Structure 1
Amino acid sequence: MSDAVPDAATEHAVEAALVRLDLDAKARLLAGQDTWSLPALPEIGLASLVMSDGPIGVRGVRWTSDDPSIALPSPTALAATWDPALARRAGALLAQEARRKGVHVLLAPTVNLHRSPLGGRHFEAYSEDPYLTGRIGTGYVTGVQEGGVGTTVKHFVANDAETERFTVDNLIGERALRELYLAPFEAIVKDARPWGVMTAYNSVNGTTMTEHHHLVNEVLRDTWGFDGVNVSDWSAARDTVRALRGGLDLAMPGPRTVYGPALAEAVRDGRLDESEVDTAVRRVLRLAARVGALAGAGPAVTDPPADLDGEALARELARRSFVLVRNERAALPLRPGTTVALLGAAARDARILGGGSAVVFPARTVSPLDGLTAALPEGALTYAVGADPDEELAVADRGFALRAVCRAADGTLLGTGSAPNGHIQWMGADLPEGVTHDRLRTVELTGTFTPRESGVHTFGTRGLGAFRLAVGGTVRFEGVERPEKKDPFAAFFGGPVERARVELTAGEPVDVSLTYVVELPADGPLKIVTFTLCHQEPRRDPDELIAEAVEAARAADTAVVVVATTERVESEGHDRADLRLPGRQDDLVRAVAAANPRTVVVVNSGAPVELPWREEVAAVLLTWFPGQEGGAALADVLTGAEEPGGRLPTTWGSLADAPVTRVAPDDGRLPYDEGVLIGHRAWERAGRTPSYPFGHGLGYTDWAYESAEVTGTAAEGTTVQVRVRNTGTRPGREVVQVYLAPTEPHAGPDADQPDHPDHPDHPDQPHRPARWLAGFAAVEAGPGETAEITLDLPRRAFEIWDETAHRWFFVKGSYEIQVGRSIADRRIGVAVTV
């Protein structure tokens, strides 16, 4: 395992390096040298530290398919496994990928909470529950760092939505902050000792997180003992003095940040003391020592674990994450010899990951159509589009063979680069060989497009600036796109714009060219070249497509409909307006279900969507964003070769019933008025029944809960021993869940004071949810076999944060320890008094 505390030799090497640096070198180190790295300082034996986005794959410093990356399932999928050990293996694989790509620090994991179902980036976070999030995050961080690669647990703290995320001030009560939003970070810091944390763009209670002295220095460092590096989210740092005194070590990306020369100047004019700079530099040098980038200091890991098979692990993780939420008439697994009608555009063109900074390019992608074609006998599978969720143009991809040609202002060729699709995103030094930002004037995406369908194809652009689009040798558009509002990331996350419609014939290639004029602000902190060639296939009549799918469903024994969200629904950069599936997908499901009673719906989304037809179909399987091997894993589960192993990490329900929905601030402020009641806690308090409750998930066998015995004391450690029996006909895996429920009002010190959380007149009364997750573990057993599992309930499960005394308070009284399959399916209860 990686080091928990730096050893004396490491600290000696850090101090020896520090005293050899002058002020300018220190300030330069804390600013970074470019988008993804810190400068090397050869005079002290410091190599350049390289960072890279995660969390489902390691992209490296270049956004390109030339060096492909393993693409694991989304973090929501990882949390759906309820398996910290599997998360640890995922982390180990990502460390292996990072080492291969020369990356020292992974910008992951994201452990913000699913506060509102409208959060657009929830696919990149784990759960609505702080305990589950902390356990999965601990496994992930441990796995990465055991591979000798650092992590930056993010986004500290309360970056729980995307709307106005750069400026929003989230107003959060101290108790909710401690019990919910800080809790996963605290668990990971104490149990996994991360080497880094990333502070968020947003403010909390009036202070931006890159300057939050209380939460960073007093809570994260002093109280929890975090000794790693605090790096800003990219371009989040705003003020030199306040950032350094707020505990920010690295202001990224470099070199134009609030550190560097500005930091050295602040010391020289007396606004900061050099010892304050030394403290931050010391942490960066410690990180360098841990990853093996500082001479004279041995790395934290000298013998990384054996290499893992990335494709095999991606497939295993996917099938272990799939959640079977409904299975009537034993629709799954498919019976041998069954004929299948596979329906939905997402079955052919799989969406394997969410949009935004987490995007990577795998060497291969297995769609549901690919997976089932390989798994079923010849002639057993038919396919029809049925409905397409993409109602707008998407990144030009299938059928396009493109390259990027870079020229200077006078037309001189500077260099060329590959283009994995129609999206160009070059950040900092991430440019084709021979190309520099100061000379680059135009980038031409050029190549051919071979349509797979005849008809009118639509072409467009996404991005800001001047464009020239030509298709088939004819200029179809020439003009300029300007931003509607001031947004530093508008070019990244803005919508596509239609530019031309062209009649094309299937199988006949045409030349395609999109030329973009590069405009980089001279004083901007980021050197970014980004734009997109967009495309949409011919739009057929939706009713005809659905009718074709219905006919295919009638002719098959089982209909499998794959429905999905799109990048415009789930992506970094924006929140969701609703929870509906885009396009005519709901209509498709209803029509197919009416034609075939054995209709199975596969839901390809990273976070909850509404399923208004769920009672009309035989089975519903949630596959999240399943990563590059998703189609193969789907075939494993549908055919019964493997069991769906997942349980819901987040409540699924309708937006109308969801208790907490607000993500948009008012005048820059977003109050978290719900306090500690989010997710399943809020659903229970509101007395509302979701579509599928937290923790729910079915397998292909049945389980009986036979006994639960409680030993120990809550103050010293409570142990629950559970015995379950597999009562079905095949081997299976069960996730045993333990919930803690108070059964009488609790009393504590000063409970007679109205401002104390135990007082009955306190506005937070009743001061705890009806129940909360306190422990979980998985068991496996064959048909008729029993399995026993022992779970240790943490003392924290019996504590609340006392806002009056500003401390954790152990709440005495009567509880019921409830053991079961989900928060709504509790099989055994044991009364305890503490």
Structure 2
Amino acid sequence: MGTSDEEIDRLLGKLTPRARALLLSGATTWRTRAEPAVGLRELVMSDGPAGVRGEAWDERQTSVLLPSASALAATWDEALVERLGGLLAAEARRKGVDVLLAPTLNLHRSPLGGRHFECLSEDPELTGRIGAALVRGVQAHGVAATAKHYVANDSETDRLTVDVRVGERALREVYLAPFEAAVTAGVRLVMAGYNAVNGTTMTANALLTDPLKDEWGFDGVVVSDWGAVRATLDTARAGLDLAMPGPDGPWGEALARAVADGDVPEAAVDDKARRLLRLAAWLGALGGRDTSRPPATGEWPDAERASLPDPARARDVRGLARRAVAAGTVLLANKDVLPLDPGHLGTVAVIGAHAARTRTQGGGSAGVFPRAEVSVLEGVRAALRGRARVVHVPGPRPDGPAPPLDPDDCTDPRSGLPGVLLRMLDADGRELYAERRRGGRLLEPRLVPGAHTVEIGARLRPRTGGSWTLGVAGFGRMSLTLDGHTLLAGDFPPATDDPAVVHVNPPAQHARADLVAGRDALLVARRELAPGTGRATVVVAAPPAPDVTASLAEAAHAAGAADAAVVVVGTTEHGESEGHDRTGLTLGATQDALVRAVAAANPRTVAVVNSGGPVELPWREEVGAVLLAWFPGQEGGGGLADVLFGRAEPGGRLPTTWPAVLADAPVTRTRPDGGRLAYDEGLHLGHRGWLRHGRTPAYWFGHGLGYTTWAYEELTAPPVTRAGDDLTVRVRVRNTGARAGREVVQVYLARPASALDRPVRWLAGYAAVRARPGEAVTATVRVPARTLRHWSVAEHAWRTEPGPCRVLAGRSAGDVPLVADLEVVHPPSA
């Protein structure tokens, strides 16, 4: 990490212009090129941010799975997020990964955004602070973090081609702000998105140079999103440094020729190569000093263990992940039902399909394979074992397409062991390779020379008879047979070139077949491995849906006979996933009916919401309590049980405003018009938009209850502050409840007399405090000078408006009982 720029220039001088140009394209999907002449080894990259997958989509290569990014932002706890970043760094080191492609710093602009679970919040200040904490945590242990997707890549619809039209001031104050915070934190890479901004694709956009490299002084590497480079010259002349993946693509040999022909200046390529070598030096991958990484599988080697953060130990990892669940869980509403007292419970009914199959992560390229996942049902059972009876009723099946084949429903037809049989066949159908895999979702099977067809065979063991939905997801020529009878066959070309769809989550083709309970049936799916058809092959299967009326009645009966009921509802991977936005916020009539039926049967009903972003909760006033679990990661059930039974306080506060119904939301549009998506709301997204339009959401940004109550007693702010100076605000709060607790004190600014377009109020700072019952404590909140400045479009510069300013403090953007006035003045001229 100590290689000087002079030494890097010396190494650069050993390379020809062609060699320098070739360094700037990937060698494989996840690796950069090695260059023995300067002792440069390959750099290995991996998707994040909830876990480190590594180079392979293989369920046998497991990863620690943390709560979703939206859940991490809900903690409002930078110290905890920094520790979680250290855990991710340990995972990266274990898997031989140099560069983690996280954090995602795009904003929750519209509640319909399909990838909210991977982003942090609607607010630039909160996103910047939490994102910077993750960067610091990852990079403190020698792994490089990547701020993505630069910039205004805030929705998924037409994301490869959409041209976002955003005003200069909103771009600077809102969308670029979290990336500036990451650069200030020392982030080593920034990823350029697929989208265009104001007419120019981001991989060729001038924003890569100014403000990123010039104004902010970013000296790291700008890497493209995978496949985002579509042309050679405009991207090479811009601030992009590394085109991924490789080895094929618009750079490589084409870039080398462009340099030789004088179409791309050598100086531009030299700067890019210098940045790559600087990154390699920081990673210890340059000059032959560290030519290897830890093994890609298995546990940490003994020699590595001492250099890793404490969470490297398995029990510490699970404990920290479990603590993160409780810290990010948001108690939205509580009618004195929570926490449940195990000493007064004889029977607890745990209801819903999501209770037994809790959704722990979102869909798309960020997905990993955890070694084990704790469902809500398992967490409750473990917490009450030996103390109370736990009854589970699945209720009606949630609305949505058939899921991937459940490993519990099938065996490998060759070995008879749980799982499926994967075979690679040549063009004549001869077997080239075979292995047992766990389930029906195979995203990147090992290809062998001469492979023409991938085949997945499974012996179904249906526990329920009737008309099953069976299918295969993928692109190209596919077929599906059951006991030798063809259920479907055809050629299904890709309808999109979105890599998340083509390679990760392709659509399924379905058929119906009658199965007899307990009678085995052989299901075989085949897909030809034609170029351009992606890597994913998924077998899907769903038993007959139970009768909705009977299922609701069964759930209500179980709830009515219990001392308390926990009903878990949520979204599916077809609702929240990379590659597409949502079309609505409802959980579906079936799940809403389930919550209402359970709540009507038992007033001590806790509704647990298992989603990565906002959903409509039309029954929120009918239940005893509402807990937002997000996608809680592998320890979700244990962490939620800690909250349910009072072992831990629900520490979360909303990072995003939740509408009661979609129609209330001020900003909803994600679909471009004529290829353009206009950010007409300017500065006024999230809670700012709600306040501007005078609307009241179901739950405000910053909202979250604990297991105690708080009184806001006094706000102290200086009467005058100078432009350019940070501001310190003190807020005295008192714990007025019967339990010790943690409160997130939030400070907002307002300038009602401003001559400029301003939000009604905006988040300027926050601090968490803890207090015992009856104790008063003072939160010291630092308000950075940047929160008072604005971007002057006329001067293309930052300015601070003098005059009166209002400081507000409270529990959320909609609950700010304390107000103080101050005057902003300019320092006297020298």
**TM-score of the two chains, using structure 2 as the length reference:** 0.93
Q: 2:508 aligns with which of 496, 521, 544?
A: 496
Do residues 131 (structure 1) and 118 (structure 2) align?
no
Do residues 211 (structure 1) and 204 (structure 2) align?
yes
In structure 1, C-alpha distance between the alignment counterparts of 2:498 and 2:72, rounded to whole Å: 32
Do residues 740 (structure 1) and 744 (structure 2) align?
no
Do residues 305 (structure 1) and 309 (structure 2) align?
yes
Equivalent position of 1:457 in the other structure: 468
Equivalent position of 2:190 in the other structure: 197
In structure 1, C-alpha distance between the alignment counterparts of 2:104 and 2:434, rounded to whole Å: 35
Q: 1:255 aligns with which of 208, 225, 247?
A: 247
- Conserved 8 A contact 1:405-1:443: yes
Shift of residue 410, structure 1, vs aligned partner: 3.2
- Conserved 8 A contact 1:314-1:629: yes
Q: 1:303/1:597 Cα in 2 relative to 1: closer, same or farther (>3 Å)?
A: closer
Aligned to 1:458, what secondary structure does the other structure show? strand
Do residues 595 (structure 1) and 595 (structure 2) align?
no
Aligned pairs (5 A) from 1:154-169: 154-169=148-163
Aligned to 1:631, what secondary structure does the other structure show? helix
- Conserved 8 A contact 2:397-2:545: no
Equivalent position of 2:413 in the other structure: none
Aligned pairs (5 A) from 1:499-538: 499-506=511-518, 509-521=520-532, 528-538=534-544
Do residues 477 (structure 1) and 488 (structure 2) align?
yes
- Conserved 8 A contact 1:462-1:497: yes
* Deviation string, structure 1 residues 250-280 (Cα, Å, up to 9, x no partner): 1111011111100011012221122221111
Do residues 394 (structure 1) and 394 (structure 2) align?
no
- Conserved 8 A contact 2:322-2:635: yes
- Conserved 8 A contact 2:399-2:590: no
Do residues 380 (structure 1) and 385 (structure 2) align?
no
Q: 1:770 aligns with which of 752, 760, 767?
A: 760
In structure 1, C-alpha distance between the alignment counterparts of 2:289 and 2:780, rounded to whole Å: 41
Equivalent position of 1:697 in the other structure: 704
Aligned pairs (5 A) from 1:644-683: 644-653=650-659, 654-683=661-690
- Conserved 8 A contact 2:208-2:239: yes
Aligned to 1:370, what secondary structure does the other structure show? helix
Shift of residue 290, structure 1, vs aligned partner: 1.0
Do residues 358 (structure 1) and 352 (structure 2) align?
no
- Conserved 8 A contact 1:121-1:572: yes
Farther off after superposition, 402-411 or 120-129: 402-411
Q: Give 5+ residue unaligned stretches, structure 2.
A: 292-303, 411-418, 825-830
Equivalent position of 2:828 in the other structure: none
Aligned pairs (5 A) from 1:150-299: 150-190=144-184, 192-213=185-206, 215-295=207-287
Shift of residue 472, structure 1, vs aligned partner: 4.2
Equivalent position of 1:419 in the other structure: 437
Aligned to 1:201, what secondary structure does the other structure show? coil
Q: 1:149/1:485 Cα in 2 relative to 1: closer, same or farther (>3 Å)?
A: closer
Aligned to 1:584, what secondary structure does the other structure show? helix
Equivalent position of 1:467 in the other structure: 478
Whichever residue aligns with residue 688 of structure 1, its letter is: R
Whichever residue aligns with residue 812 of structure 2, its letter is: S
Aligned to 1:346, what secondary structure does the other structure show? helix
Equivalent position of 1:404 in the other structure: 422
**TM-score of the two chains, using structure 1 as the length reference:** 0.92
- Conserved 8 A contact 1:391-1:582: no
- Conserved 8 A contact 2:396-2:545: no
Equivalent position of 1:23 in the other structure: 17
- Conserved 8 A contact 1:391-1:583: no
In structure 2, C-alpha distance between the alignment counterparts of 1:348 and 1:225, rounded to whole Å: 49
In structure 2, C-alpha distance between the alignment counterparts of 1:453 and 1:489, rounded to whole Å: 33
In structure 2, C-alpha distance between the alignment counterparts of 1:229 and 1:485, rounded to whole Å: 29
Equivalent position of 1:624 in the other structure: 630
- Conserved 8 A contact 2:396-2:546: no
Shift of residue 297, structure 1, vs aligned partner: 6.5
- Conserved 8 A contact 1:327-1:619: yes
Do residues 367 (structure 1) and 375 (structure 2) align?
yes
* Deviation string, structure 1 residues 646-699 (Cα, Å, up to 9, x no partner): 000000012110001111111101111111000000001111100001100001
Q: 1:634 aligns with which of 640, 652, 655?
A: 640
In structure 2, C-alpha distance between the alignment counterparts of 1:625 and 1:285, rounded to whole Å: 37
- Conserved 8 A contact 2:498-2:579: no
Percent of residue pairs identical:
50
Shift of residue 814, structure 1, vs aligned partner: 1.5
- Conserved 8 A contact 1:705-1:820: yes
* Deviation string, structure 1 residues 529-570 (Cα, Å, up to 9, x no partner): 222111112211111111110111111122211011001110
Aligned to 2:662, what secondary structure does the other structure show? coil
Whichever residue aligns with residue 598 of structure 2, its letter is: V
- Conserved 8 A contact 2:402-2:541: yes
Do residues 780 (structure 1) and 777 (structure 2) align?
no
Shift of residue 721, structure 1, vs aligned partner: 1.9
* Deviation string, structure 1 residues 494-549 (Cα, Å, up to 9, x no partner): 4322123231315x55433212111015xxxxx94222111112211111111110
* Deviation string, structure 1 residues 394-441 (Cα, Å, up to 9, x no partner): 111341411321122233433234534212222xxxx53xx44x6220
In structure 1, C-alpha distance between the alignment counterparts of 2:270 and 2:443, rounded to whole Å: 35
Q: 1:566 aligns with which of 569, 572, 578?
A: 572
Aligned to 1:729, what secondary structure does the other structure show? coil
Shift of residue 443, structure 1, vs aligned partner: 0.9
Q: 1:490/1:62 Cα in 2 relative to 1: closer, same or farther (>3 Å)?
A: closer
In structure 2, C-alpha distance between the alignment counterparts of 1:485 and 1:316, rounded to whole Å: 40
Whichever residue aligns with residue 444 of structure 1, its letter is: E
Shift of residue 162, structure 1, vs aligned partner: 0.5
- Conserved 8 A contact 1:146-1:304: no
Aligned to 1:283, what secondary structure does the other structure show? helix
Do residues 575 (structure 1) and 581 (structure 2) align?
yes
Q: Give 5+ residue unaligned stretches, structure 1.
A: 1-5, 522-526, 747-757, 759-764
* Deviation string, structure 1 residues 53-96 (Cα, Å, up to 9, x no partner): 00000000000122100000000000000011111111100000
In structure 1, C-alpha distance between the alignment counterparts of 2:780 and 2:146, rounded to whole Å: 32
Q: 1:452/1:359 Cα in 2 relative to 1: closer, same or farther (>3 Å)?
A: farther
Equivalent position of 1:610 in the other structure: 616
- Conserved 8 A contact 2:712-2:817: yes
Q: 1:340/1:671 Cα in 2 relative to 1: closer, same or farther (>3 Å)?
A: same
Whichever residue aligns with residue 725 of structure 1, its letter is: R
In structure 2, C-alpha distance between the alignment counterparts of 1:509 and 1:707, rounded to whole Å: 70
Do residues 722 (structure 1) and 731 (structure 2) align?
yes
In structure 2, C-alpha distance between the alignment counterparts of 1:412 and 1:39, rounded to whole Å: 35
- Conserved 8 A contact 1:705-1:724: yes
* Deviation string, structure 1 residues 724-744 (Cα, Å, up to 9, x no partner): 22221122111111111224x
In structure 1, C-alpha distance between the alignment counterparts of 2:134 and 2:500, rounded to whole Å: 29
Equivalent position of 1:750 in the other structure: none
- Conserved 8 A contact 2:117-2:612: yes
- Conserved 8 A contact 1:346-1:388: no
In structure 1, C-alpha distance between the alignment counterparts of 2:209 and 2:238, rounded to whole Å: 7
In structure 2, C-alpha distance between the alignment counterparts of 1:188 and 1:160, rounded to whole Å: 17
Shift of residue 389, structure 1, vs aligned partner: 1.8
Whichever residue aligns with residue 231 of structure 2, its letter is: D
In structure 2, C-alpha distance between the alignment counterparts of 1:640 and 1:467, rounded to whole Å: 51
* Deviation string, structure 1 residues 258-317 (Cα, Å, up to 9, x no partner): 111000110122211222211111111111111111126799x99553444221111111
In structure 2, C-alpha distance between the alignment counterparts of 1:80 and 1:241, rounded to whole Å: 42
Q: 1:809 aligns with which of 799, 806, 813?
A: 799
Whichever residue aligns with residue 344 of structure 1, its letter is: G
In structure 2, C-alpha distance between the alignment counterparts of 1:641 and 1:709, rounded to whole Å: 34
Q: 1:125/1:736 Cα in 2 relative to 1: closer, same or farther (>3 Å)?
A: same
Equivalent position of 2:295 in the other structure: none
Equivalent position of 2:8 in the other structure: 14
Aligned to 2:91, what secondary structure does the other structure show? helix
- Conserved 8 A contact 1:10-1:298: no
Farther off after superposition, 385-394 or 459-468: 385-394
Aligned to 2:817, what secondary structure does the other structure show? strand
- Conserved 8 A contact 1:290-1:298: no
Q: 1:387/1:578 Cα in 2 relative to 1: closer, same or farther (>3 Å)?
A: same
Whichever residue aligns with residue 190 of structure 2, its letter is: V
- Conserved 8 A contact 2:138-2:145: yes
